[in-house]
Amino acid sequence: MLSFIFMEKRLQKILSEMGIASRRRAEELIFEGQITVNGKVATVGMKADPSKDHIKVGGKLITVLKKGSQKVYLMINKPRGVVTTLYDPEGRPTVKDFLKDIKYRIFPIGRLDYHSEGLLLLTNDGDFAHAVMHPSKKMLKTYLVKVKGIIGKDNIKRLRRGIKLEDGATLPAKVRRISQSEKNSWIEISLYEGRKRQVRRMLESVGHPVIMLRRIGINGLKLKDLKLGEFRHLTIDELQLIRREMGKIKEESFENQ
């Protein structure tokens, strides 16, 4: 069985990968003296190994999956107005607030921004998280989006081909118009990438700002009847949908789920 390999990394990266804070916010927490490593106040640029070092954020120890521990795979229907982290210094609701019955230390896979809702996966399995997030694994993420204005065929073609953003051109996307009214349109857009606010930025660039955004699928995984704020464990069949794309991850990684 493969396991998530830990090594020394910058503290900002560790906290980001574990869903505790964005890299920028992690740097701010370091400046504020909120992070310690083995009892010493951390400094910007410091590296640590979360499998060996005692890292605390706001006095709370962060932990990682130990060898032999049960792996957990969850799906939550994230509401709008909820932060996709386990800790928010501003006191805003986080996904952790909806997981009070989960005793294992888990972290979100990727992000759904504060104003978006829908399907979010959480786990304590680093290999699984990497497979879902990395573009090379071809995990298709599907979104239902309400935008301002009537989106025409030309702009749909532009979205399909890829859009030039400030951080580079996007990969081709799957796009179809679902419906429209006098002032707004509903579209479905699917893409392999997961850049920060990517769907919103793509649509803004073609003149159709997002009114509402909901993620409805990840590589065949769907919310089904999961209500906003509710979560559930993934089924064996759902895990298989991800495992097919994981390549080197062996079947034993998903036993006893």
The residues with which 174 forms a beta bridge, in sequence order, are 190
Coil, strand, or helix at residue 75?
strand
Q: CA torsion 157→159→162→167, rounded to 10°?
A: 150
Catalytic residue among 113, 125, 167, 237: 113
Catalytic-residue membership of 154: no
List b or e across 186-224, with b for residues whose CB sees 16 or more CB atoms inside 10 angstroms: bbebebbebeeebbbbbbbbbebebeebbbbbbbebebe
Coil, strand, or helix at residue 14?
helix
d(CA 46, CA 137): 31
DSSP code of residue 80 = T
Name the residues annotated as catalytic. Answer: 113
